[in-house]
Structure 1
Amino acid sequence: MTSRLLTTWTEHDSAVQEILDLSAKSLLIFDEDLSPLKLENPARIAALNRLLSSRQQGSQLTIVVQKTEFVRQYSPQLMKLLRVYSPTLQIIDAPPQLEARNDSLLIADDKHALLRFHRDHARSRLITDDVHECKPYRKRFDEILGEGGDPISATTLGL
């Protein structure tokens, strides 16, 4: 059980990979647009693919974003995973009432978390192997999900 304060983008970047590597059954992400998480990085796509393709019953990846443009335009590998693994992978466009939220959450298996306090800054907290410390952040994520939002489709509709 550890908790560390991170202050640089390099530390944050390493922590994102650590959380992805630790996720065995579930991963919950809330972020403005996913750009600081660099999920298109091959090692990160591999970690997400491993999570989604695992045979564990109930494995789940849920992502809530406040702005979908980055995901739609610059995340082709993530959109490919959405096509292959839907409904195990959900990407949700957050409703307008969540626009004021400035934090970012990554929660793996309800016991590992990376919490960025403000989307414009690297300052964050990394929690590993501590269900008790992660519980309030899981509750916050559930509240975010409870606000609703529109699922992003992996297919483009239109003519």
Structure 2
Amino acid sequence: MQEARTLRFDTRAEFDAQWRACLAAARMRLDLFDPDFEVFSLGSSEADAALRAFFARGGVLRLAMHSPAHIERHYARFLRLLRDFSHRAECRVTPRALHNLTDSFCIADDLHVVRRFHSDHMRGEAAFDALGAVDLPRHRFDAIWDESRSTLQSTKTGLQAL
């Protein structure tokens, strides 16, 4: 294991670079929470290639969100990826009672985390090879996941079930 490192960021470009680094570091599990995933470049060809490689290694992806609308409207490539790897990916939508949650984070293998303190701002931090830094986001994600219900599921016709 490498030495733990923490990096602060406050721009969209810095956030995107840290998120891509976290995605590249992921081997077995990625858990993400964001109200709508607008700032995550899930629809990019680079993310598609990285996630396909992640799934090929046996990785599992879980996304929790308040609304899937942005993904449905803007991330057609990501929706195809979800269809192609429905056995390795699951998306859930939070109940209205949790819509007051405004942070945003990505956890990779319970070892790496990229976290924005508030989803309306880019300020946050990324921690790599840092078990302790993952504890709070892990606890939050697990609680959010348990309260949420499935969304963005492909049907046999290829259409998305809501």
TM-score of the aligned structures, taking structure 1 as reference length: 0.91
Deviations 1:98-122 (A, max 9, x none): 1101100100011000010111110
Q: SS of the residue aligned with 1:37?
A: coil
Counterpart residue number, 1:88: 88
Q: What is the percentage of aligned positions where both structures have the same residue?
A: 25
Matched, 1:26 2:29: yes
Q: How far apart are residue 157 of structure 1 and its match?
A: 6.5
Please tell me whether the aligned partners of residues 61 and 89 of structure 2 are also in contact (alpha carbons under 8 angstroms).
yes
Q: Distance in 1 between matches of 2:124 and 2:20?
A: 14
Dislocated runs of 4+, deviation >6 Å: none
Q: Give the corresponding residue for 2:117.
A: 117
Question: For residues 157 and 37 of structure 1, what CA distance do their matches in structure 2 show?
Answer: 20
The alignment partner of 2:84 has SS state of helix
Farther off after superposition, 144-153 or 97-106: 144-153
Which amino acid in 2 is paired with 1:27?
Answer: L
Q: How does 1:71-150 map to 2 (within 5 A)?
A: 71-150=71-150
CA distance in 1, matches of 2:42, 2:64: 14
In structure 2, the gaps of 5 or more residues are none
- The match for 1:17 is 20
Gaps of 5+ in 1: none
**Cα offset, 1:8, TM superposition:** 1.5
Question: Quick check: 1:94–1:150 contact (8 Å CA) kept in 2?
Answer: no
User: Conserved in 1, the CA contact under 8 Å of 2:90 and 2:150?
Assistant: no
Give, in whole Å, the separation in 2 of the partners of 1:42 and 1:111.
25
- Aligned residues between the structures: 155
Q: CA RMSD in A?
A: 1.5
